[in-house]
Amino acid sequence: MKNNFILGVLFTGALLAGCDMSEKLGTPPQIADVNSVGCLVANDFYAVHFSAYLKPKQGNEREALLTPYCQELPNVGKVFFAADLIDRDIRKTPIGIRVVEIEKIGDKPNDFKEIRELNRVEPKIYSKGVVEAQADLDKKGDYALILLIGGEEAISDEDQLKITLHVGVNPFAWFKEKQIWIVNKAAKLF
């Protein structure tokens, strides 16, 4: 019994000591493969590798400026968006961009209504395959970057790639909840 208790304490200590590296390493990219450009976002017709970069609040901290996020941004501020077009054929098609604040009205990612437009980029051809935009996301909440594939003629949902974003979350919150749950379960065993 004493050995189980010691083993439990050692396991819990190792878990707590080694898992929360958020303050030591900064916020890591929210991507499954750190060698990847960003996260994959797709609808039934189009796919992109998407990244969002949050401008640091103070100065030009290189590491903070080069930290890619997917669809969860920790803070408000000026955000730079990059979408790498996977399909080479749409590099010949004009693409417009809209950044909007949204209110979610359903459970699906595209179930939202637009509240206000923050930025609009007129349609143009992105022959190199990188679509770029920026916007000031001035309050915590939900936003969407909408790629209008076909430009002004992109009136159907099929021609719009909607990338939803949530601003003001701690990317480690789910992990901390899991840690607390494990510690509580381990404490009940002993």
Q: What DSSP string describes the chain?
A: -HHHHHHHHHHHHHHHHHH--HHHH-PPPS-S-TTSSSEEEE-SS-EEEEEEEEPPSSTT-HHHHT-EESSEESS-EEEEEEEEE--GGGGGSEEEEEEEEEEE-SSSTT-EEEEEEEEEEEEEE-TTSEEEEEEEE-SSEEEEEEEEETGGG--SGGGEEEEEEEES--TTHHHHHHHHHHHHHHHHH-
pTM of the shown model: 0.68
> Could you list the mean pLDDT of each consecutive 10-residue stretch along the chain, which spans 190 residues?
48 44 38 58 92 82 77 91 93 95 86 94 95 95 94 81 87 59 73
pLDDT of residue 59: 65
pLDDT of residue 4: 54
Count, residues in the chain = 190
Q: Where are the alpha helices (DSSP H) in 32-172?
A: 62-65
Q: Torsions phi, psi of 72, nearest 5?
A: -125, 115
pLDDT of residue 95: 95
Q: Torsions phi, psi of 67, nearest 5?
A: -85, 115
Identify the burial level of 131 via C-beta atoms within 10 angstroms of its C-beta, where 0-12 means exposed, 13-18 middle and 19 or more buried: buried
Structure tokens at 169: 């979350």
**CATH (one of 3.30.460.10, 3.20.20.70, 2.60.40.1930, 2.60.40.2140) for 29-182:** 2.60.40.1930
CB atoms within 10 A of CB 156: 8
pLDDT of residue 182: 75
pLDDT of residue 147: 95
Instruction: Please state the domain extents for the chain.
Output: 29-182
pLDDT of residue 108: 79
pLDDT of residue 122: 95
